[in-house]
Amino acid sequence: MNKSNDLIESIVEQYPSNLRDFSSQYGSNSARSYAVGNICKRPEIYPLYGDSSQALVFRTYGPWWINMPSYKKTKKNFKRWENEFTSRDFIDIEYSNLVYPCISLNIYETYNPGSLEVVYVGEENNNNGNIIWHRVWKFPESFSITLRNNQEIFIENGRQQMNDLFPNHVNTATSALQSLHLNTDHEQISKIYTHHTYPPAARFPRILKIPLIDKVSFPTRHIRLEFDHCTANYYIEIDTITLCGQISNFNQSLPKQIISKQEENFELNYFENNLIKLPFDLLFLICSYLDLYSLIQFSSTCRYLRQQCLHPLQFHSLNLQPYWNGITNDTIENFFLEHCIQTKYLSLSWTKSIQYSSFNQLLNICSNKLIQLNLACCQYLTGEYIQIIVNYCKNIEILNLENCSYLTNLDFIPLKNLHHIRSLNVYRTKIDYRTLLPLIDNNKEHLEDINLGSCQNLIDTIGIVKLIFARCINLRSIDLWRASNLTSNCYLSIIGLSHDIQEEERRFSNLSINEQEELAIIYSLVNLPIEINSIIHMTYLREIDIGWTDPPAGFIQNFVQQVGHSLIKIFLTACRRVSNEDIIAISENCLQLRQLDVLGSNIIQEEAMECILKNCLYIEFLDLSFCSKISDEKISNWICQYKNCFKRSYQPINNDDIYSEFA
């Protein structure tokens, strides 16, 4: 009894001290607003509920980004169905002190909760400094939620919507829950495989408690969370994440229990004698429907099935992202090198600490056959790894290096020697003009999709964007969200409007002497156009995101008049100068439009937005958050009239009655 009391008294609640890694963030790299680092603090928002810039916020939510052609294009080649992996974002958290035993993990969800998918606990490896990750929870395993009135609710089956938890408090005739069924979220989500319901949880502030008792057999201070927010109604926001347990005493004895395996045991009773009688083609097709883990387990049943399961063509497309935790130098050298001789599509996204020699051997095996390579969030990459890609994979067409934030600007330079790039994603990297200008020029006939979102080190953003719009006639999508140095001059110059030449000269003179000399040489090599008369040659452009930049008056109107006929997505998030004339021009020229984001506009009026709803018959997504001239009452009327998906965020609020939003 005394031991139990001592344990209770010694339990501490720690707040994150550091973020080791993460996949994306809504905020910029240079500010705290909407940054993932906002969880490294005590609770500041809870028990309020609403949109707060002081919370952790990921880059995307819901089905909207996933169902765009630019995203589908990067996924369509990975045909093997990994049905257990639905994670979209992750964060790796470090706490100050080792904890053992672990009691619980407490996640303060203050906006659109319910998208947690997986929890890992990290074990420090004293031999090499790496962290060994153990999965301890996966949705919909049991958990509890604590509401702001301190009521704790235990949930066994993942069901956590308002009418599931509090059926007696929901008026089914008038509840705000009804409005959720009058938009197109359902239709979009039906195209995506997910374990979560829509919406994933009741919309009120809560502390999500993941039990860790008897699940962790070692001292830890490392937690990894993965999220599937494809059913979230809006951006998910988290105030902080606390780890509860006893500060570890290094001399205490640890139990000899073993963490349960990450994957379920696979039942291998498949009546091999009958299967091996099937024709090769039919058996090969059956094997292609197995996820990678099941395929490898199935191969161990007999020699004949091993030959079928591990045939090189089964590895024609290889998505290792769902197995990021098990992809080591040993697995590459002792297994994949033998079977990847026919691999054309390869994803190593989220993998940890693959050594240079293993990476070199793997890409050497794939060599010129490799068409797609995904390396998102691979923080072990250096310039030497990039050189390997260029040396071996000369026919690469789709390259994803998003959030590889440890690469320097000079590390990217070898990429300029690639000549077949159709899709390039360098979101939140340090890539600059030295790589991008020659790379764009070398691939101007092929380039279809480019993501420069949150790239803060471009330096010559004007030259880069001008070259894209002047030469890339097959461009389908461009993401310039939060891209640095997108000036009014830049915007005006790409659509043929008059702009300040002297300002351009001043910008150039403010660069260092070395940068001026380098740019002069590169401009000459790529024959950078001085003026662009129009961009009507961009007949295929479908998606553009210039959120959190500042396009000048007149740009949007002229832009859509030239290329609006093909646009299906326009994101103008926090573009404060977007006018009613711009919105009317969009309604007249973008008749195929499906998604429009004008969050934060204080100019747009209801009459202009009504033109969008009447003329753009395919519109399915409208974000009108913080548009002060558009009332909540008007949006409610539009929801009933047009049945579209309207997004409307609001500042954090506190109601004494936790059920008030659904009354």
- The string of pLDDT tens digits covering residues 609-624 is 999 999 999 999 999 9
Output the pLDDT for position 9.
Answer: 56
Output the pLDDT for position 663.
Answer: 43
CB-side neighbour CA atoms (13 Å) of 478: 20
Amino acid 86 reads T
User: pLDDT, tens digit, for every residue of 548-565?
Assistant: 999 999 999 999 999 999
Distance from C-alpha of 156 to C-alpha of 141, rounded to nearest angstrom:
7
Look-up of token digits 């910008």: 507
Distance from C-alpha of 523 to C-alpha of 464, rounded to nearest angstrom:
10
Output the pLDDT for position 459.
Answer: 93
* Beta strands at 143-147 and 152-155: parallel, antiparallel or unpaired: antiparallel
User: pLDDT, tens digit, for every residue of 188-244?
Assistant: 888 888 989 888 888 889 999 999 999 999 999 999 999 999 999 899 999 999 999
Find the mean pLDDT for residues 169-180. 51
**Distances from the Cα of 117 to the Cαs of 195, 196, 203, in angstroms?**
9, 9, 18
User: pLDDT, tens digit, for every residue of 341-350?
Assistant: 999 999 999 9
**In which element (H, E) is residue 319 found?**
strand 317-319
Output the pLDDT for position 59.
Answer: 96
Least confident of 181-185, 441-445, 512-516: 181-185
User: pLDDT, tens digit, for every residue of 383-424?
Assistant: 999 999 999 999 999 999 999 999 999 999 999 999 999 999
- The closest of 599, 596, 602 to 629, measured between CA atoms, is 602
Give the DSSP letter string of 464-522.
Answer: HHHHHHHH-TT--EEE-TT-TT--HHHHHHHTT----HHHHHHHHHTS-HHHHHHHHHH
- The closest of 27, 22, 3 to 574, measured between CA atoms, is 27
Examine the pLDDT at 661 and tell me if it is beyond 70. Answer: no
Examine the pLDDT at 127 and tell me if it is beyond 80. Answer: no
Give the pair of three-digit tokens for residue 657.
């009655």
Rounded to the nearest 5 percent, the helix, strand and coil shares of the chain are 35, 20, 50
pLDDT: which is higher, 95 or 533: 95
> What Rg, from alpha-carbon coordinates, does the chain have?
26
Which residues are CB-neighbours of 637 under 8 A, at least 6 positions away?
Answer: none
Instruction: Give φ, ψ of 616 to 5 degrees.
Output: -90, 90
Examine the pLDDT at 177 and tell me if it is beyond 50. Answer: no
**In which element (H, E) is residue 372 found?**
strand 372-374
**Distances from the Cα of 460 to the Cαs of 133, 241, 445, in angstroms?**
41, 39, 22
**Which residues on neighbouring strands pair with residue 479, listed in sequence order?**
451, 545
CA angle 154, 155, 156 (to 5 degrees): 120
- Structure pTM? 0.93
Q: Are 341 and 314 in contact (CB under 8 A)?
A: no
- Local structure of residue 262 (DSSP, 8 states): S
Examine the pLDDT at 273 and tell me if it is beyond 60. Answer: no
Look-up of token digits 């303060």: 108
